[in-house]
Amino acid sequence: MTTPGARRPNLRQGLDRDVYQILKKLEDSNDGKPLKSVSAVYDAIKRSNSSLSRQKKRPLEDSIDRVLQ
């Protein structure tokens, strides 16, 4: 039996992948200009109709930070 913490890396990888995909879409709609800060990406995601906009703030910001690195 696995503990809930053992599955977290998989969930994070999935969230990171989703954040990466929406970040690319947001940059494409922004004339290819990169979004450089976590707060700018977070605000853009919250304004979008993405399912990511319903994620909790801290995990979403952490994932955005990993994707931007």
* 9 φ, ψ (degrees, to nearest 5): -60, -40
Interval 14-27: pLDDT, tens: 999 999 999 999 99
pTM assigned to the model: 0.78
* Average pLDDT of the chain, as a whole number: 85
Under 8 Å between Cβ of 41 and 64: yes
Alpha helices of 1-69 — where are they, by DSSP H?
8-29, 38-47, 57-68
